[in-house]
């Protein structure tokens, strides 16, 4: 599940306000209004200001982004306790068990959307002191439209791409089991950089060599890849081949801790209950 431009959403900017969040002098999130003016992710601060002179820039606050995302994390945990928050706004979860429970991948995706987009999460706790409302299949937090994408596929890389495509299409994107290689083959090579899997320099080198699709990279032999690009190239080659074997970095929930004490007589006053609880 992916919430686009979460840092700027967590900051409470309205969709109509040209604004962006900056980290290490580069744009990491921007509002739709800023995007319309030509502000893009990865752009330097001064470039963004030249593109949009009236843009409002703020420094990235990881604590704020995590704090505003916490209610969503708790909502997901109610459906699938084994998940990984890759970063605020981006969650990966092991879907096999929950999918069986809810009757399939699509019912699970619909349930995730329903729970996360409910007023108790988006518009309740997640909105903090900001105003929030529902608009169709999305929500508005502090004026910023929130449209999460959900992608289901074999491996984190393919599912992450699917989640981002889901935002564009307005519906969950599912890649059938075993179809990840075919799904990845026609994707632009730039997805490796977009998802932070490969350095920009390596992706640029791939492009200069004519490897414009992930399928082009996947067609190379592993021995040629490691000889030419080293271990970073091998990692990129595995992802391009749809062979993302990384297990989700999930953590099983802690076992419930429970103590019981049976009273000889019903407690008529709270003092008796408090006294008993202190003895446990």
pLDDT band at 35 (very low <50, low <70, confident <90, very high): very high
Rg (CA), the chain: 23
Structure confidence at residue 42 as a pLDDT band (50, 70, 90): confident
Reported as type and span, the H/E element at residue 134 is strand 132-135
Give CA 140 to chain center in angstroms. Answer: 18
Q: Where are the alpha helices (DSSP H) in the chain?
A: 6-10, 32-36, 45-51, 62-79, 96-102, 105-116, 156-169, 180-185, 191-194, 200-208, 214-218, 222-240, 270-279
The residue among 193 and 117 whose pLDDT is bigger is 193
- Out of 46-55, 67-76, 150-159, 209-218, least confident range: 67-76
| pLDDT of 130 over the 80 cut | no
- Average pLDDT of the chain to the nearest whole number: 85
Q: Residue 255: what pLDDT? A: 57
DSSP state, 193?
A: H
Using an 8 Å Cβ cutoff, are 88 and 68 in contact? yes
Q: How far apart are CA 85 and CA 17, in angstroms?
A: 28
CA distances from 119 to 5, 104, 108, 125, 252 (A): 20, 25, 19, 9, 27
Average pLDDT score over residue span 222-230: 94
Domains and CATH numbers, the chain: 6-60 (3.40.1170.60), 63-174 (no CATH), 180-240 (1.10.150.20)
Which residue has 């082009």 as its token pair? 216
Q: Element (H or E) spanning 151, and its range? A: strand 151-152
Of the candidates 156, 225, 167, 215, the one whose C-alpha atom is nearest the C-alpha of residue 188 is 215
Banded pLDDT at 256 (limits 50, 70, 90): low
pLDDT tops 80 at residue 16: yes
Find out whether 165 and 147 touch, Cβ atoms under 8 Å. Answer: no
- Give the model's pLDDT for residue 127: 42
**Per-residue pLDDT tens digits for 43-89:** 999 999 999 999 999 999 999 999 989 888 888 888 887 888 999 99
With contact defined as beta carbons under 8 Å apart, do 110 and 172 qualify? yes
The reported pTM is: 0.77
Q: Residue 47's pLDDT is what? A: 95
Q: Identify the DSSP state of 213.
A: B
**How much is the pLDDT for 131?**
37
Strand order in the sheet with 132-135: 132-135, 138-141, 144-146
- Collapsing DSSP states into helix, strand and coil, what is residue 220? coil
The confidence score (pLDDT) of residue 143 equals 46
Distances (CA, A) of 56 to 20, 31, 44, 50, 192: 6, 10, 14, 12, 29
């Amino acid at each position: 599940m992916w919430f686009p431009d979460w840092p700027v959403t967590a900051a409470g900017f309205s969709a109509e306000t040209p604004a962006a969040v900056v980290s290490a002098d580069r744009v990491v999130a921007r509002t739709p209004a800023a995007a319309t003016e030509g502000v893009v992710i990865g752009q330097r601060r001064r470039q963004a200001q030249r593109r949009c002179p009236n843009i409002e820039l703020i420094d990235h606050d990881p604590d704020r982004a995590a704090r505003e995302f916490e209610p969503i994390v708790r909502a997901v945990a109610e459906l699938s306790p084994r998940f990984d928050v890759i970063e605020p706004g981006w969650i990966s979860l092991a879907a096999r068990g929950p999918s069986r429970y809810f009757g399939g991948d699509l019912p699970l995706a619909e349930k995730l959307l329903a729970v996360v987009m409910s007023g108790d999460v988006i518009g309740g706790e997640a909105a903090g002191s900001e105003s929030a409302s529902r608009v169709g299949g999305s929500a508005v937090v502090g004026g910023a439209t929130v449209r999460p994408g959900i992608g289901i596929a074999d491996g984190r890389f393919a599912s992450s791409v699917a989640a981002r495509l889901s935002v564009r299409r307005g519906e969950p994107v599912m890649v059938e089991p075993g179809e990840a290689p075919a799904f990845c083959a026609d994707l632009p090579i730039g997805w490796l950089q977009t998802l932070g899997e490969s350095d920009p320099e390596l992706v640029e080198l791939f492009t200069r060599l004519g490897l414009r699709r992930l399928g082009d990279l996947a067609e190379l032999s592993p021995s040629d890849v490691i000889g030419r690009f080293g271990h970073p190239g091998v990692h990129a080659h595995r992802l391009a081949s749809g062979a993302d074997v990384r297990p989700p970095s999930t953590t099983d929930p802690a076992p419930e801790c429970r103590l019981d004490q049976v009273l000889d007589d019903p407690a008529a006053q709270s003092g008796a209950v408090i006294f008993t609880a202190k003895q446990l």
